Amino acid sequence: MNRRRFTTHLAAGIAGFSIGGRFRETALSAAPSLRVEGDRINRHLTELSAFGRNSYGGVSRVAYSEFDRQGRAWAMDVMREAGLTVQVDAAGNIFGRRAGRNAALKPIVFGSHIDSVPDGGNYDGDVGVLSSIEVARTFREKGVTTRHPIEVVIFSNEEGGTVGSRAMVGDLTEKDLDLVAASGKTWRDGMRFLGGDPTRLTAPLKRKGDYAAYVELHIEQGGTLEEDGINIGVVEGIVGIGRWEMVVDGFSNHAGTTPMNKRKDALLAASKFIQMVNRVVTAEPGRQVGTVGKIAVVPNAPNVIPGKVTATLEIRDLDGAKIQRLGNRCIDEAKKIGAENGTTFSFTQTHNLKPAIMTRSVQQAIEASAKSIGLTTKYLPSGAGHDAQHVSEITPTGMIFCPSVGGISHSPKEFTKPQDVANGANVLLQTILALDAQ
């Protein structure tokens, strides 16, 4: 099916013929109607799911594990089948490159990751990588050669803290390399295990100007698109994360002999705190979220009044100032809660990740590309961290979301419908063409 509804910039992007003689060339006027083979992506998703599959469902292909290495080897084969030239960088990131028509231009990069959380699903990361390979393969099969070189990237150890992309932009310290990943290996040993060379990470691997653009397709991981019946999310930015470690000091005493009005129950105070966080975070308009996800009680016995509680507070939003303002309000209100029952709250901020705003022109290219193929779109933030947030430090960057059924992620129940995967890949393809024309 040839669709002739060109947008201005897409039309610009396909003016003229490829100058490379290596591949069979399709009339470039057909580029707007270019589509991936959705079935092939979904078949590849199933094939990749075999590496680290759990007998009880889901996948545990944690970074630097044997399953990770096997999955990567399989993915590199799929890259080569798609005509890409494969290289592994010092951080273990995989790049599959195809030359463009203009050797003077910097590459347009697109991809994601294929490592998983323990007991994770088969869409987080995988959809972006396999769609990116499919886009490159479609270009090759349909004889389309872009002006820019293209590079499909598989970042290493995304789930352990976007390690590969941080390493690429020079955001890791020597000390970071000694951190231990879910596989049990240090980041340093893990990178070596994947064929990298961590001794080369003393300088950034890539700098501003090295790339023309970066685009990442990913599942939403939230439920907004599915609930609103929208095909494609255009990511405005990746939220910042403020995280605090909280300690509530009360007094541990015998739960039988201590009257109710004489207690300094740290868990009772922490409970009031958890409710207050919920109230403060939802009290004002916006998409900010606040979570108390981790808690430990001392001594944690049925017959002893809790003397001490440690817990985490995490707040995320696209606006870094709002994160700090809400965090400070929670800390202020905690002091009042403590005063009510003789407990004391103390806080240490452990994370202050700045929001990463996506490049406006890339957002517009994504929206126009989706609309050009008849898909509905919605602008939204990414509540999860992604490699894109680090790559955005060195190049214009955008992210495409496709719907997650039930908003479920990091779970064996994670699922994105095959048509939605194909839609995402087609938007990625058209976005790359649009950026290539700029």
Instruction: Tell me: does residue 352 bind its own copies (CB under 8 A).
Output: no
Q: How far is the CB of 350 from its own copies (least distance, A)?
A: 9
| Residue with Cβ nearer its own copies (16 or 259) | 259
Q: How far is the CB of 309 from its own copies (least distance, A)?
A: 9
Q: How far is the CB of 133 from its own copies (least distance, A)?
A: 25
Instruction: Tell me: does residue 291 bind its own copies (CB under 8 A).
Output: yes
Q: How far is the CB of 355 from its own copies (least distance, A)?
A: 12
Instruction: Tell me: does residue 204 bind its own copies (CB under 8 A).
Output: no
Q: 306, 327, 338, 403: which one contacts its own copies (CB under 8 A)? A: 306
Could you tell me the CA-to-CA distances from 45 to 124, 128, 153, 417 in Å, in that order? 11, 10, 17, 12
Q: 30, 320, 408, 415: which one contacts its own copies (CB under 8 A)? A: 408
Q: 151, 236, 314, 436: which one contacts its own copies (CB under 8 A)? A: 314
Q: How far is the CB of 275 from its own copies (least distance, A)?
A: 5
Instruction: Tell me: does residue 278 bind its own copies (CB under 8 A).
Output: yes
Q: 98, 185, 316, 322: which one contacts its own copies (CB under 8 A)? A: 316
What the block records as the tokens of 192 is 């070596």
Instruction: Tell me: does residue 289 bind its own copies (CB under 8 A).
Output: yes
263-266: which pairs have CB atoms within 8 A and are 24 or more residues apart?
Answer: 263/305, 263/341, 264/305, 264/307, 264/341, 264/342, 264/343, 265/305, 265/306, 265/341, 265/343, 266/297, 266/306, 266/307, 266/308, 266/309, 266/343
User: What's phi and psi for 253, nearest 5 deg?
Assistant: -150, 170
Q: How far is the CB of 72 from its own copies (least distance, A)?
A: 24
Instruction: Tell me: does residue 298 bind its own copies (CB under 8 A).
Output: no
| Residue with Cβ nearer its own copies (11 or 304) | 304
Q: How far is the CB of 348 from its own copies (least distance, A)?
A: 13
What the block records as the tokens of 277 is 């966080």
| Residue with Cβ nearer its own copies (199 or 282) | 282
**Cα angle at 367 between 363 and 371, to 5 degrees?**
170
Q: How far is the CB of 218 from its own copies (least distance, A)?
A: 11
Crossing angle for the helix pair 66-81 and 38-48, to the nearest 10 degrees: 150
Q: 19, 301, 321, 339: which one contacts its own copies (CB under 8 A)? A: 301
Instruction: Tell me: does residue 303 bind its own copies (CB under 8 A).
Output: yes
**CA separation for the pair 314, 312 (Å, rounded):** 6
Instruction: Tell me: does residue 421 bind its own copies (CB under 8 A).
Output: no
Instruction: Tell me: does residue 293 bind its own copies (CB under 8 A).
Output: yes
Q: 29, 310, 312, 364: which one contacts its own copies (CB under 8 A)? A: 312
Instruction: Kindly state the number of chain residues that form the binding site for its own copies, as judged by CB under 8 A.
Output: 58
Q: 103, 254, 285, 348: which one contacts its own copies (CB under 8 A)? A: 254
> What part of residues 210-249 is at the interface with its own copies (CB under 8 A)?
220-224, 239, 241, 243
Instruction: Tell me: does residue 111 bind its own copies (CB under 8 A).
Output: no
Crossing angle for the helix pair 266-282 and 320-341, to the nearest 10 degrees: 150
- DSSP states along 137-161: HHHHHTT---SS-EEEEEES-STTT
CB atoms within 10 A of CB 233: 27
Q: How far is the CB of 321 from its own copies (least distance, A)?
A: 18
- DSSP states along 252-313: -EETTTS-GGG-B-HHHHHHHHHHHHHHHHHSSSSS-EEE---EEEES--TTEE--EEEEEE
Instruction: Tell me: does residue 292 bind its own copies (CB under 8 A).
Output: yes
> What part of residues 377-406 is at the interface with its own copies (CB under 8 A)?
382-385
Instruction: Tell me: does residue 20 bind its own copies (CB under 8 A).
Output: no
Strand, helix or coil at 28?
helix
Crossing angle for the helix pair 126-141 and 66-81, to the nearest 10 degrees: 20
Could you tell me the CA-to-CA distances from 315 to 210, 231, 244, 267, 312 in Å, in that order? 33, 28, 9, 21, 10
| First CA to last CA distance, the chain | 26
| Residue with Cβ nearer its own copies (108 or 388) | 388
CB atoms within 10 A of CB 5: 11
| Residue with Cβ nearer its own copies (163 or 305) | 305
Nearest CA among 163, 154, 156 for reference residue 132: 154
Which residues here bind its own copies, judged by CB under 8 A? 220-224, 239, 241, 243, 252-262, 265, 267-268, 270-272, 274-275, 278, 281-282, 287, 289-295, 297, 300-306, 312, 314, 316, 382-385, 407-411
